[in-house]
């Protein structure tokens, strides 16, 4: 497909919603030189540690500080940005997201997301125990925060990955809202 995005989106959503996977498919589908920045991978590269290692060594609170610094570093880049699922927990991050639209929320029910995130050792918040209940708890806290930041919502329970890529492209072609 020969296409140029008029603006580069920022993807938000719970773990397992497809932010990174859809971003990679979107980049592959378009033939211009679109860069993809995955905030979690940015942190991993900077720290030289995996996300589980960062959580184990520094704890979640320190990881969230790293996440804010990483978001500040990349938010103005001319790139598609895929964030970590907890990025919206910080008021500072939500302000950064709202100031740098368009932000697209990949919304999925915990029942849908658990098949992609549950038990994944690279996702320390759901690596062990009852992943479905943990995702339900996260959704209860985070969904209102995602909604606060979102310029568009893509329902992942209803849209497969390629249909989501199509929906993102269609949304971006009409951006900004008129």
Using CA atoms, how far apart are residues 62 and 41, in angstroms rounded to an integer?
Answer: 16
Taking only the tens place, the pLDDT of each residue in 112-137 is 988 877 665 566 666 677 888 889 99
- Angle at Cα 82 formed by Cα 79 and Cα 86, nearest 5°? 145
Using CA atoms, how far apart are residues 50 and 177, in angstroms rounded to an integer?
Answer: 38
List, in order of start, the domains of the chain with CATH numbers. Answer: 10-173 (3.40.50.300)
| Statement: residue 169 has pLDDT above 60 | yes
Residue 5 confidence (pLDDT) = 74
Residue 127 confidence (pLDDT) = 62
Taking only the tens place, the pLDDT of each residue in 33-59 is 889 999 999 999 999 999 999 999 999
Distances (CA, A) of 105 to 1, 18, 83, 156: 24, 10, 10, 10
Instruction: Give which of 166, 168, 63 is closest to 105, Cα–Cα.
Output: 168
Residue 2 confidence (pLDDT) = 41
**What SS3 state is found at 107?**
strand
Give the pLDDT band (50/70/90) at residue 177.
low
* Residue 52 CB contacts under 8 Å (≥ 6 apart), including other chains: 121, 122, 124, 127
Using CA atoms, how far apart are residues 131 and 123, in angstroms rounded to an integer?
Answer: 10
Using CA atoms, how far apart are residues 103 and 61, in angstroms rounded to an integer?
Answer: 24
pTM over 0.75: yes
Residue linked to tokens 């989501």: 164
């Amino acid at each position: 497909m020969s296409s140029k995005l008029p603006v580069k989106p920022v993807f938000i959503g719970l773990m397992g919603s497809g932010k990174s996977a859809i971003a990679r498919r979107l980049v592959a589908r378009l033939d211009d030189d679109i860069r993809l920045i995955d905030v979690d991978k940015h942190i991993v590269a900077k720290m030289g540690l995996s996300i589980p290692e960062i959580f184990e060594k520094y704890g979640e609170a320190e990881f969230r500080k790293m996440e804010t610094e990483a978001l500040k570093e990349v938010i103005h880049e001319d790139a598609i940005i895929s964030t970590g699922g907890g990025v919206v927990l910080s008021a500072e991050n939500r302000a950064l997201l709202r100031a740098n639209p368009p932000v697209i929320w990949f919304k999925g029910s915990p029942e849908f997301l658990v098949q992609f995130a549950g038990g994944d050792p690279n996702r320390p918040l759901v690596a062990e125990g009852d992943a479905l209940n943990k995702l339900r708890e996260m959704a209860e806290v985070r969904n209102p925060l995602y909604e606060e930041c979102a310029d568009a919502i893509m329902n992942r329970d209803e849209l497969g990955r390629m249909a989501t890529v199509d929906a993102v492209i269609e949304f971006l072609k009409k951006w900004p809202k008129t």
